Chain A
Amino acid sequence: MIEVSRPGAEDSSWERFEALYISARDDVYAYVASLLRDRASAEDVTALAFERAYRRRRTFDRRRGEERAWLFGIARNAALDELRRRKRLAAFGDADLEAERTEEVADVALARTMVRGAVAALSARERELIALKFYAGLSNAELARVLGVSESNAGTILHRTIDKLRKACNATV
């Protein structure tokens, strides 16, 4: 956890941003890295997303949603801009991130490999949904806000994606 200097009687917007950064840093990185599948780009985009959020922190309107959903919306736009710029998206299971996996018990490793394969077979939108839910830990309401759909719609799409994932895993077994 970082220790952020407090410059006197700074406005409360900075304190709110600080709290948001502390709670969401790893989640934003996980989501962005899942979209980009490239560590260097994920780090750049994560930093850019937090900087943009910091610059726009006073424009945040609580009536339009929670700060977390607002932050992930910024991160999503930054990641998609990066995708547009690069015109590519590495395949899920990129060696760059694969190297991070640690040695595991064989059956756990087998199950994880199976799940990774099933996730890799999903479409990009479905993979994004998985990343927002399981890597970033967004609630269904936040997820709906980031994707710009209703909460019930987001829940239905999520359930359909999980079901697809389950079937793919069972088929592998």
Chain B
Amino acid sequence: MRRSDEFPLDPDVAASLAAVDATLRGDLVDPEHAELAELTVLLAADRPRIDPEFATKLDGQVRRRFATSRHRPSRERGRLWALSGVATAAAAGLATLLVLEGSSSAPVSRTGAEPVPLTAGPAKSATVSSARTPAPSNAAPSNAAPSNAVPPAGSVVPQPPLGGHRIVQTAQLALTTPPAQMEDVAQQVFTVVGADGGSVTSSTVTATGGPDSYAQFELSVPSANLADAMMRLSRLRGASVASRTDTTQDVNGQYLSLSRRVGEAQALRTALLRQLANATTAAQISSLNAQIRDADATISRYQAAVNSLNHQIDYTPISLTIDSGRVPVAGRGFTLGRASHDAGRVLTVAAGVALIALAALVPVALLVVLCWWIFVALRRRRREQALDLA
């Protein structure tokens, strides 16, 4: 490539320079350049001579390939390699963490979120906070203690042992289904609830065919059929379980207390009726009638509470939501579909990590290049200044 400051030499200048080169080579030159040749010879002969002792020493260093030099670039290279290794390991660790984090936050990878065959396997939680806590199937249920430990979708819901105890249960179930199947899945909910003797307290179904399709149900099913209803709801065609929560509350104490108060109020009423039968004055009769009315009201109030509690015990409310989303690959274990899905995720996450790293490194690299350019320019300038000052 031709330099910008390149220009053709003046013929006289070129001839003079050629004469200098010829003289340095030991060739004869034109007589008109005799003076220049003589100057060239004088200059060339005056060059500093290398000291033989130093020449021998330098030859030895070269022969040993500067092995005894104070400079140790190989060690510096080793440090560089070590630093590179640490940086690579850190990047790999970060990538692994991100990949694992990405996998753990993916709903499709949760075992509780997958449509699982009907098996009575170990109970697993569908939420991260209560991950894989076995249900205390043989322990006595505690008051207001959400079990929050649900079996895989489709398996039998753990029933609290009755043994004379009254238990109130609630359940929440979240399903996902492709937007196009929202209506069909919602219809299946009605069918299942009807088959189990339950009812739909309220429902909202928005089937747009798009990702905003959504359905919400408030159901009530006989507690005796709760396990069957939950199993069938978890296995709706075209839907998969995203999360599931069951809550139990022992209301035995509350039930007995209310029953006792009903009994006490009834006993009081009986006693008041007896006193009324023996009453002789109008004032006594009036007072006893008033107390009997109060007792009747009390009995009615407590009986209503008992009836309400009985209804809560006999019927379990189920809160069901259906979101539109991608249905995960069915089945467990290794399949080509799952493998390609996982591989795709790993590649996506890896590409994301690489992109983030690139976004962080590019400005840093540009800054380093700029600093290096400034350093080189300053160094060159100082070197030239050193020559000028000489």
The residues of A with any CB-CB pair to B shorter than 8 Å are: 2-5, 14, 18, 21, 25-26, 29-30, 33-35, 39, 42-43, 46-47, 50-51, 54-55, 77, 80-81, 83-84, 87-89, 97, 100, 111-112, 115-116, 119, 124-125, 128, 130-131, 133-135, 137, 139-140, 149-153, 155-156, 158-159, 162, 165-166, 169
Q: Which of A77, A80, A81 has most chain B Cβ within 10 Å?
A: A80
B36 touches A97 (CB 8 A): no
Those of B6-22 within 8 Å (CB) of chain A: 6-10, 13-14, 16-17, 20-21
14 contacts between A and B (CB under 8 A): A26-B55, A34-B48, A39-B51, A43-B54, A47-B58, A54-B62, A83-B386, A84-B386, A88-B390, A134-B47, A137-B44, A158-B20, A159-B16, A162-B36
Are A133 and B20 in contact, with the CB atoms below 8 A? yes
A18 x B6 contact (CB < 8 A): no
Would you call B382 an interface residue if the criterion is a C-beta within 8 Å of the partner chain's C-beta atoms?
A: yes
CB 8 Å contact bits of B180-202 with A (1 = contact, 0 = none): 00000000000000000000000
Name the interface residues of B27-67: CB closer than 8 Å to any CB of A.
35-36, 38-40, 42-51, 54-55, 58-59, 61-63, 65-66
CB contact under 8 A between A26 and B50, given known A84-B386, A124-B390, A159-B17: yes
Question: Given the complex, which residues of B lie within 8 Å of A42, measured CB to CB?
Answer: 48
Q: Does B387 contact A (CB under 8 A)?
A: yes
| Chain B residues whose C-beta falls within 8 Å of the C-beta of A34 in the assembled complex | 47-48
Which residues from A are CB-within-8-Å of B4? 150
Question: Smallest distance from the beta carbon of B5 to chain A beta carbons, Å?
Answer: 5
Given contact pairs A135-B47, A155-B17, a sample of 19 additional A-B residue pairs in the complex whose CB atoms are under 8 Å apart: A2-B63, A4-B59, A14-B65, A26-B50, A29-B48, A29-B50, A34-B48, A35-B390, A43-B58, A46-B50, A46-B54, A77-B383, A80-B384, A112-B42, A116-B46, A134-B24, A134-B40, A159-B13, A166-B35
Residues of B within 8 A of A35 (CB): 387, 390
Nearest A-chain residue to B59, judged by Cβ:
A2
**CB <8 Å contact, A137 and B24:** yes
CB of B2 to closest CB in A, whole Å? 8
Q: Are A153 and B46 in contact (CB under 8 A)?
A: no
The chain B residue sitting closest to A32, CB to CB, is B48
B49 engages A139 (CB within 8 Å) = no
Q: Mark B277-315 against chain A: 1 for CB-CB distance below 8 A, else 0.
A: 000000000000000000000000000000000000000
- Does the CB pair B62–A81 fall under 8 Å? no
User: When the two chains form their complex, are residues B50 and A30 in contact, meaning their CB atoms are under 8 A apart?
Assistant: yes
**Is B43 in contact with A130, judged by CB distance below 8 angstroms?**
yes
Chain B: minimal CB distance from A100 (Å): 6
CB neighbours (8 Å) of A46 from chain B are 50, 54, 58
Q: Are A47 and B61 in contact (CB under 8 A)?
A: yes
Q: Are B39 and A43 in contact (CB under 8 A)?
A: no
Given contacts A43-B54, A51-B71, contact A150 B62 (CB under 8 A): no
Cβ contacts under 8 Å, A88 to chain B: 390
Q: Which of B3, B20, B55, B389 contacts A25 (CB 8 A)?
A: B55
CB distance from B45 to the nearest CB of A (A): 7
Does B337 sit within 8 A of A, measured CB to CB?
no
Q: Are B387 and A125 in contact (CB under 8 A)?
A: yes
Query: A51 contacts which chain B residues (CB < 8 A)?
Result: 61, 66, 69, 71
* Residues in chain B within 8 A of chain A (CB atoms): 3-10, 13-14, 16-17, 20-21, 24, 35-36, 38-40, 42-51, 54-55, 58-59, 61-63, 65-66, 69, 71, 73, 382-384, 386-390
Complex contact A150–B6 (CB within 8 A): yes
User: Contacts A25-B55, A162-B39, A166-B35: A115 and B46 contacting too (C-beta < 8 A)?
Assistant: yes
A115:B58 contact, CB within 8 angstroms: no
Interface of A is mostly: helix
Beyond A34-B47, A81-B383, A152-B8, is A50–B58 a contact (Cβ under 8 Å)?
A: yes
Cα separation A35 to B8 with both chains bound (whole Å): 30
B residues in contact with A5, CB < 8 Å: 63
Contact B36 A166 (CB under 8 A): yes
A91 to chain B, nearest CB (A): 10
- CB neighbours of B39 from chain A (8 A): 115, 162, 165-166, 169
Q: How far is the CA of A46 from the CA of B51 in the complex (A)?
A: 12
Which residue on B lies nearest to A82, using beta carbons?
B386
Q: How far is the CA of A169 from the CA of B54 in the complex (A)?
A: 34
Task: Name the A residues within 8 Å of B49 (CB-CB).
Answer: 26, 30, 100
Q: Which of A26, A133, A150, A166 touches B3 (beta carbons < 8 Å)?
A: A150
Contact partner of B6 among A26, A39, A151, CB < 8 A? A151
Across the interface, do A21 and B62 meet the contact criterion of CB distance under 8 Å?
Answer: yes
How far apart sit A54 and B47, CA to CA, in the bound complex (Å)? Answer: 25
- Determine if A153 and B43 form an interchain contact, defined as CB atoms under 8 angstroms apart: no
Cα distance, A55 to B8, chains bound together (Å): 38
Say yes or no: B63 contacts A152, CB within 8 Å: no
Closest chain B CB from A2 CB (angstroms):
4
In angstroms, Cα B43 to Cα A133, docked, is 10
Could you tell me if A30 and B47 are in contact, using CB atoms closer than 8 angstroms?
A: yes
A128 touches B66 (CB 8 A): no
| Complex CA distance for A21 and B13, rounded to whole angstroms | 32
